[in-house]
Structure 1
Amino acid sequence: MTLAIFDLDNTLLGGDSDHAWNDFLVERGIVDRDHFRRENDRFHRAYDAGTLDIHEYLAFALEPLTRHSMAELDELHRRFMKERIDPIILPHGEALLEKHRAHGDLILIITATNRFVTGPIAQRLGVEHLLAVEPEMEDDRYTGRVTGTPSFREGKIVRLEQWLKTHDVSLEGAFFYSDSQNDLPLLERVDHPVAVDPDPVLADVARQRNWQIITLRDRDERLDSL
């Protein structure tokens, strides 16, 4: 069985779910508007530049989850899905997922965004297997801390290798679709790295190494190359 691995933000989605969630909290008045938006944008720029300190970012991003019960958070997330995620789900991304399903491939989403934000998105996309940052919980509330290795940069490889052993799956013949230079460590590990609407650094690397480059945002893009 061939493994088809997908990044989520700016790959299957026409935007960043983590950044969108933080903006959603600002718009709802749940966090301090000026400070939180400023920091959110700062971390997003660092991610785009390939210089993000993932532990500093997660301390910032997970703290608001500690202020609310799971019932309150679930209700917020339902509104978030409707207002911010449904409009940026890419039809070509869904079509590519379906192509891999038709081939009998095993689909996995791996993302540096936390599971609270991304779990319902993976469900909406019909993807059972998700590797995401795992926020720690105690007494049914988030603590603001992380369990295990964050699935970011080389951490994606660590988490994937653990998952492969647990599921008795091989990387032989695997695909990995991503938009970001931050995913170069994992792109270099698979047989079929695919740059999806790549950032400038990833685009340059993909061209130098003759990796496939595709867009999932162009209505005329064909997906018959699998």
Structure 2
Amino acid sequence: MSPRSIAIFDFDGTLIQGDSLLPFLEFLVGRSRARLALLHAVRTAVTRFAAEPRRRGDVRTAVKAGLLQRTVAGVPAARLDEAAERLAGWVRWHPPMLDALKTHAGKGHRVVVATGALTAYMPRLLRGLPVDDLLATGLETLDGVLTGGMDTHGNCVREEKARRVTAYLAAHGPFAESWGYGNRPSDLPFLALMRHPTVVKTVKRGGQPAAETAASG
């Protein structure tokens, strides 16, 4: 047993095939509305960043924020569980990474999933798996209704994910050994914190590429 060892996994494109956000929103508000909202969110974000070359921020996070605002604002939080249950039937796992997760757990390593996916559905998708903790993107609610915004922690991707992982390691460590699994380039900031980083070629729906070991640091 190695209780002072930790393995941290990305979710979308790493543990599962494809990305979970849009399918979840389709189950929540309908396919047409979700797809149209994505189109508008992309156009708006790209236009704003093109018009302001020095604009700070992450265009992908801007797209995500716009997508959420156009889909979940005004939706009762009570409806999230039903959509999460439907999403669970959509998920297709990436067998090599799922096996790696279970292997780490079997060795007594602490297992954490760190993802930009939503806390609205991640606990349902991870049910039954040996996962100790979840770092994910929360949705803001007011009086039981979604506002359309992310919570105060923001979007758990890239540098923000690395920041949360850093805080987690400090709070629960020290760890003698650490493994990280994620895809390039979005997970490189958090993988740089791991003693044993593994870059997984982004797994699209229906594909199962092999993993590759990242350069140290």
TM-score class normalised by the smaller sequence: 0.7 to 0.9
1:155 is aligned to 2:171: no
SS in 1 for 2:140: strand
Give the letter aligned to residue 33 of structure 2. V
1:194 is aligned to 2:198: yes
Residue in 2 that maps onto 1:81: 88
The answer to whether the Cα contact below 8 Å between 1:2 and 1:106 also exists between their aligned partners in 2 is yes
Question: What is the TM-score of this pair, normalised by structure 1?
Answer: 0.72
SS in 2 for 1:123: coil
Q: What are the Cα deviations for residues 20-58 of structure 1, in whole angstroms up to 9, with x where unaligned?
A: 3245457x357264x235357889xxxxxxx95244133
**How many percent of aligned residue pairs carry the same amino acid?**
26
How many angstroms apart in 2 are the aligned matches of 1:42 and 1:171?
A: 44
How many angstroms apart in 2 are the aligned matches of 1:208 and 1:177?
A: 10
Stretch of structure 1 that moved more, 97-106 or 72-81 = 72-81
The answer to whether the Cα contact below 8 Å between 2:73 and 2:149 also exists between their aligned partners in 1 is no
Residue in 1 that maps onto 2:20: 17
Unmatched 5+ stretches in structure 1: 44-50, 212-226
Relative to its length, the structure with more helix (as a share) is 1
User: How does 1:170-181 map onto structure 2 within 5 Å?
Assistant: 170-181=174-185
How many angstroms apart in 2 are the aligned matches of 1:21 and 1:156?
A: 21
How many angstroms apart in 2 are the aligned matches of 1:171 and 1:152?
A: 23
1:2 is aligned to 2:12: no
Residue in 2 that maps onto 1:90: 94
User: How does 1:38-187 map onto structure 2 within 5 Å?
Assistant: 38-39=39-40, 52-63=58-69, 64-82=71-89, 84-85=90-91, 88-146=92-150, 147-166=152-171, 168-187=172-191
How many angstroms apart in 2 are the aligned matches of 1:90 and 1:208?
A: 19
Regions of 4+ moved over 4 Å: 23-26, 39-43
SS in 1 for 2:84: helix
Deviation at 1:14, TM superposition (A): 1.3
How many angstroms apart in 2 are the aligned matches of 1:11 and 1:42?
A: 27
Q: How many residues align?
A: 193
RMSD (CA atoms): 3.1
The answer to whether the Cα contact below 8 Å between 1:18 and 1:117 also exists between their aligned partners in 2 is no
Unmatched 5+ stretches in structure 2: 45-56, 204-208
How many angstroms apart in 2 are the aligned matches of 1:18 and 1:100?
A: 27
Question: What is the TM-score of this pair, normalised by structure 2?
Answer: 0.74
Residue in 2 that maps onto 1:209: 215
